[in-house]
Structure 1
Amino acid sequence: MRVSLRLADGDLYEHEGILAAAEPHVNEQTGVIVLRLEFPNPELFLLPGMYVQVELPQAVIENVILAPQEGVSRDRRGRPVAMVVNADNQVESRQLTVQRDLGNQWVVTEGLAPGDRIIVAGLQKVSPGMTVLPEERDAASTAASGN
């Protein structure tokens, strides 16, 4: 697996490294996994004790939708669901398949399509089949709230 180093000033180290070894178990108390990474250092730029961050890709999932967590709830059986406004401004309930979280969003592999409008506020006032007049959340307020 290829890995990258981000230096203390935020720049990427020019040489890629590899994941050379990983311990087969996780420390149950800390959640730490010990990894061994190897990087070429032909210019002797990397020094012992130097502060760096490793960028280690975990996985690549294609054809997913990032859904805001506040727009996803659980049904009586514990399955993730979202209320979506369709093209006719009617509310639909959609059962989702959630792969994992990514910050304040869910990585959704099934149940949503590009362009779907998820209801994130006023969920207690809507029900499936209801006609609504949706208000889009602008990018500035989304970024400011961390959503």
Structure 2
Amino acid sequence: MDVLSRLGLGVGLVLGCLFSGLGVVAVSMGVDEVGDASDLSERGRSASGTVVGHYERNAGPAGTQRWVIVRFTAADGTSHRMESISDEPVGAEVEVRYDPDDPAVAVTGTGSVTLHWVKAIAIILIGLCLIVLPPALPIKLALEARAERRRRSSPTRGA
């Protein structure tokens, strides 16, 4: 194996480990999201919330997203604040679904719990891809280098 092949294999291994580490973080975040979605599905409560503010957030190539700040009162009388993607105007009433044991876990809208599940599963799948696929590159490079060494070392036939 020449120096460039070894260097490429080393870089591939480092990048594979880096991306796999990011994959582990993504899977961990997805599992946390699954827990939140499960809590909201099992014991979530509904409350009426009021949009008290909004701001724009950069959404990358898609442009910007409009986020709203919603204030709601839990069943125990405590006031809470949450943020959600929406284009509701300030002063609008919105439905909030929250976890009574942890009101910081809250979503707006009736379909938001399902969306929470979808987001959690997508994060886990992306994480799994980051764990599994990057290590395949250095393995592929090593197999190609091995095949090249065999091809060079084997005597040519018919000469």
What TM-score do the two structures reach when normalised by structure 1? 0.25
Higher share in strand: 1
Query: Larger relative contact order (C-alpha < 8 A, sep ≥ 6)?
Result: 2
Structure possessing the higher radius of gyration over alpha carbons: 2
